Amino acid sequence: MVNVDISELFREKDFLKICAPMVRYSKLPFRVLARRYGCDLCYTPMIMADSFVQSAKARSNEFTTCTDDEPLIVQFAAHTVADFVNAAEIVSPLCDGVDLNCGCPQRWAMKEGYGAHLLTKPELIRDMVLQVRNRVSERFAVSVKIRLLDEDRKTIELARSLEAAGVTFLTLHARTTQERHSPIHEDSLREVCQSLHVPLVANGDVKSLQGATRLYMETGCKGMMAARGMLENPAMFLGNSSTPLACIQDWVNISLDLGAIFNCFHHHLVFMMEHILPKDGRRVFNCLKTKTDVLDFLRENYNITYIPGESGLSAESDVITCNESSDRENNSTGSFFTSSIQKYEVQDDVLDSLGGLYD
């Protein structure tokens, strides 16, 4: 696969429409759908870099792509230079850039030294960027997703140091680590954006094309990253106020052609149909337990049926996994992968717990 030049992509448009990294949700089938409905750039879910480097099983489980899956940024959680650099080198033939997650405020991330905890170690973040920049091609994008610090001055200092280290662009979630549902700080976005030469992507409260356009006009940010808004309406960047039925039909075909597991297939539909179904209908639909039940519901209520092969994709012939070997491979799946992700994956329904992450 030939890397797309992300820098050139930013130069081509007023602002890029971006699908955010979302745990369990921004996987291959959803990225394919998002691009068909106006997204310019998509992210993978956050991947634990140590697991990705150490284990072929983790690489296979956590990352898949296809030839239609571009441009693509792979986001990693890492707290050592070696893990981030090695993960970037392994995945670089299959994507267009990597992103370091320095914004996740979840307790487990902070406790383990990942995500927003890294904001207390600006030199470490800078070293991670520098080393990746030195080890992969100049065309390959390196970015960092951060949150606001307690003073704009400190955020600007961090952003400028990362610009000097060689980031292609930065993403700023315009809330502090302590803030969850409060309005974003648009003035801070504007100040940070004006202090940089590299593009700044705005994240937080982007839930419609109209809102994204307004935020671009107010702040000058060259990218608008949507999370919860994309889950509820993958066609939001085309100007749709709710998910069109054609988009739901496409999701059914794409996800099932690509072999999505039931929870992924169903949970996305729960989000997409939140503003379409009446209350009683949501109560029924959200509790369905099998693919057959979901397809029967969609056929009977919306004349939506699964048409095998209609998406133009196939799990057997189109899905690409990361088969690159690693010098650090030791048949371990990494401490976090074994102790936390496996526990997390057995939860039957995590919609409520994840919803707050994507506002």
Could you give all domains of the chain from N- to C-terminal order, each with its CATH number? 6-234 (3.20.20.70), 245-302 (no CATH)
Total residues found in the chain within this entry: 359
Per-residue confidence in pLDDT tens, the chain, 359 aa: 557 999 999 999 999 999 999 999 999 999 999 999 999 999 999 999 999 999 999 999 999 999 989 999 999 999 999 999 999 999 999 999 999 999 999 999 999 999 999 999 999 999 999 999 999 998 999 999 999 999 999 999 999 999 999 999 999 999 999 998 899 999 999 999 999 999 999 999 999 999 999 999 999 999 999 999 999 999 999 999 999 999 999 999 999 999 999 999 999 999 999 999 999 999 999 999 999 999 999 999 999 999 999 999 988 778 999 876 656 565 554 544 444 443 433 333 333 334 344 45
Task: Supply the pLDDT for residue 327.
Answer: 60
Tell which residue, 19, 17, 27, has the closest CA to residue 47: 27
Q: Which of 19, 39, 104, 247 is catalytic?
A: 104
Burial label for 149, CB within 10 Å (0-12, 13-18, 19+), is buried
Do residues 35 and 68 make contact, with C-beta atoms less than 8 angstroms apart?
yes
HSE, CB side, 13 Å, CA atoms: give it for residue 52: 27
User: How much is the pTM?
Assistant: 0.91
Tell which residue, 69, 90, 189, has the closest CA to residue 140: 90
State the Cα–Cα distance between residues 84 and 161, nearest whole angstrom.
18
Task: Supply the pLDDT for residue 330.
Answer: 57
247 part of the active site: no
- Sign of dihedral through CA atoms 170, 172, 178, 180? negative
Task: Supply the pLDDT for residue 315.
Answer: 83
Strand-pair category, 72-77 with 47-48: parallel
